[in-house]
Structure 1
Amino acid sequence: MGDPVSTPTDVQIPTHTLAVVAHAAGDLRVDTVPVAVPLPSEALIAVAYGGICGSDLHYWQHGAAGESVLQAPMRLGHEVVGTVITAAADGTGPAAGTPVAVHPATPGAGDGSPFPADRPNLSPGCSYLGSAARFPHTEGAFGSHVALPSRMLRPLPNGLSLRDAALVEPASVAWHAVSRAGAVAGRRVLVIGAGPIGSLIVAVLKRAGAAEIIAVDMHERPLAAALTLGATQTLRATDAAAIASVNADVVFESSGSSRGLASAVRGARRGGRVVMVGLLPTGEQPALISLAITRELDLVGSFRFNDEIDEVLAALADGSLVVEPVITHEFAAADALEAFAVARDASASGKVLLRF
């Protein structure tokens, strides 16, 4: 990992770190890369855990995640938590020794296309850790030590451990998705796809007071996890008749497939709302638009999140949001290739963590 060097605060850090890098479709490597010297507005973070996201899997398997296409090797990872080793030199952000979660987005004006000022996740120049949406790509944070802008850092509430906070980023995606549905208390809700994001949506819905939560998936393991997290009923994705008979007030499509979107449209009641969370591949997709029109369904997109991460941290700390059952595996960072292979198998794994 390289010989350690002294920082101005006499903290010993390595000169190099292992990094998980997608080089091209089907080409994932654990490389040794230099530890970046932080800019004045950046803190150096010792990463404790990193969660493997569906987008990380897409970059590895397909060389693209939705509209973001890999054009050069890119370090993966945006679901990370750790401890501040050296604080930002400009005096911003948490002090050294502070355990932190990371908000991986950097809003930006981009080409100047208009967007709602209160929804910076939609800003045309927004970048994200470990994202190929822009070129040069935005490098990710899968490494033992990473330099990150201090504005990305959120101190953990007292009593919340780094491992318990490891799901704060995907839980924030789920929290944002539920907010896009409007009021869910007392309502009947259908969740298509019970992978990590779908399961976290179930957990957020339970906290928000949904009366019925019906989870749908192809596999038994995620359905069992959904029941643990608050689902009141589960259905197999192959049971089209049962899904169509749900007549849900709100449906969340979190499978990221056109078949899942079709199930979502069929499972919604007339006048219902479908929140599209799963990221479908780029390009045209088949969709039951005629049925959506004649049922007057609201089709709503949900993309990343904004400041919901602060609410999620508070809910994790006070115990009102329970997410731990979503985690199924933990691997040392050096075993990232094995970890990604396990994470790819939705029948056997939920959220897979890398331990740095």
Structure 2
Amino acid sequence: MISQQNGTTMSLPTTAIAVVAHGADDIRVEDVAVAAAAENEALVSIAYGGICGSDLHYWQHGAAGESILKAPMRLGHEASGVVTVAAADGSGPAAGTQVTVHPATPAPGNVRYPVDRPNLSPGCRYMGSAAQIPHNDGLFVEHVAIPTRMLRLVPDSLDLRVASLAEPASVAWHAVARAGDVAGKTVLVVGTGPIGALTVAVAKRNGASEIVAVDLEDYSLEIARALGATRTIDARNTDAIADVDADVTFECSGNHRGLASAIAGTTRGGRLVMVGLLPTGDQPVPISLAITRELELVGSFRFNDEIDSVVEALADGTLDVSAVITGEFAAADALDAFALARDASRSSKVLLRFGSP
């Protein structure tokens, strides 16, 4: 593949290493063709990609919730990299610019949702998702053409390893925004996997006076302490959780027991932000307690433009999330990386490294 950039003829890669899910227990590291960039797309060399819970579900179950694999799909929606070739139409960053990616594309057409909340768009397409057919290929690939509207500039001062966390940190940023002002308040975070741990970090940045973290795994609680938790509780100690009396609670475990603990640990008149995605269907939780305490139960789903603020906060050091990175593997060793990422007793966020170290 040949390209002209600033009067210079460049030889571009025609194939790239990618991590592709074929079905349950079947992910493969493959050589794939590098698609030519459209006029409004930049060619990006991916540096790092973070393994998310949905990637693990596609690997283990061939599905993430109701998004079922019907064909091979490239995984990954958390990534950072460098622009190799700028978009032909002049939009977006120049070659050599560090970037991260906002992986969402709201559905076009006349669909009803709040115009300032495109994360609620029905039919929204997300990179690395099997929600639609054809599936939406993800970012676990060495070289990929990406629409420039999805690219966010990363300052040269920001390590691309940390920049790869911008997407999950934006999920946490959005959740804390849904809680309102947490400054000076007691915050409870139930479930301290990567998203819960990042929620701890954002709550600390936003001035929470006490942050109580709850999890089953000692390792996860250690990460939460490193990111700003002032106290930790074993998730099996339901009496201690109920005694927290938090002003604001974030349920990040994604299971009904965690939600029950979150309700029990929230003070009367408090707000509970539900971040973890529970399984489809009815859930056995003590809603009567939420009613009699007049709790505000608020959903939080993905994010909108918070990623711009997240990149700025990561760059200026006011948001420190580096402790959540607990493993890094070359893309060729993706199977080992996925095996570590699914083991919460010894990992939090695991990164894949593409290209040269």
For 1:60, the equivalent position in structure 2 comes to 59
Partner of 1:162: 160
Give structure 1 stretches of 5+ with no counterpart: none
Aligned residue number for residue 7 of structure 1:
3
Distance 2:210 2:123 in 1: 39
Q: CA-to-partner distance for each residue in 1:131-177, whole Å, 9 max, x for gaps?
A: 11222111101000011101001111241121221211111110000
Structure 1 match to 2:220: 222
Matches within 5 A, 1:131-280: 131-280=129-278
How far apart are residue 29 of structure 1 and its match? Answer: 1.5
- Contact 1:157 1:317 (C-alpha < 8 Å) held by counterparts: yes
In 2, Cα distance between equivalents of 1:191 and 1:11: 50
Larger displacement relative to structure 2 (286-295 or 141-150): 286-295
**1:318 partner letter:** D
- The whole-number CA distance in structure 2 between the counterparts of 1:76 and 1:280 is 22
8 Å contact from structure 1 (residues 52, 79) kept in 2: yes
Whole-Å separation in 2 of the counterparts to 1:74 and 1:267: 40
Q: C-alpha separation between the residues in 2 aligned to 1:66 and 1:182?
A: 29
Deviation readout 1:156-207 (Å, 9 max, x if unpaired): 1241121221211111110000000011001111001111111100000000
Map of 1:353 onto structure 2: 351
Q: 1:276/1:26 Cα in 2 relative to 1: closer, same or farther (>3 Å)? A: same
Match of 1:309 among 282, 285, 307: 307
Q: Which residue of 2 aligns with 1:331?
A: 329
**In 1, Cα distance between equivalents of 2:228 and 2:212:** 9
Percent of residue pairs identical = 67
Secondary structure at 1:8's aligned position in 2?
A: strand
Quote the offset at 1:116 in angstroms: 0.5
Worse overlay, 6-15 or 302-311:
6-15
1:174/1:198 contact within 8 Å kept: yes
Question: What is the CA RMSD across the aligned residues, in angstroms?
Answer: 1.2
1:289 CA drift (Å) = 1.7
What corresponds to 2:39 in structure 1?
40
- The CA deviation string for residues 256-299 of structure 1, in whole angstroms up to 9 with x for no partner, is 11111111111111111111111122233222222222221111
TM superposition shift of 1:301: 0.8
Question: Is the deviation greater in 177-186 or in 14-23?
Answer: 14-23
Give the number of equivalent residue pairs. Answer: 351
**8 Å Cα contact 2:190-2:250 kept in structure 1:** yes
Q: Tell whether the 8 Å contact from 2:129 to 2:135 is kept in structure 1 after alignment.
A: yes
Structure 1 residues 196 and 81: alpha-carbon distance in aligned structure 2, compared to 1, 3 A threshold: same
2:294 aligns with 296
Partner of 2:84 in structure 1?
85
Q: Which amino acid aligns with 1:255?
A: S
Give the Å deviation of 1:66: 2.9
Consecutive unaligned residues of structure 2, counting only runs of 5 or more, are: none
Secondary structure at 2:333's aligned position in 1?
Answer: helix
Aligned residue type for 1:282: T
Q: Any conservation in 2 of the 1:11–1:85 contact (CA below 8 Å)?
A: no
Q: Quick check: 281-290 or 21-30, which moved more? A: 281-290
Instruction: Give, in whole Å, the separation in 1 of the partners of 2:154 and 2:103.
Output: 16
User: Per-residue displacement from partner, 1:19-64 (whole Å, max 9, x unpaired)?
Assistant: 1111112222112211111111111000000000111111111222
1:218 and 1:131 map into 2 onto residues whose CA distance is 28
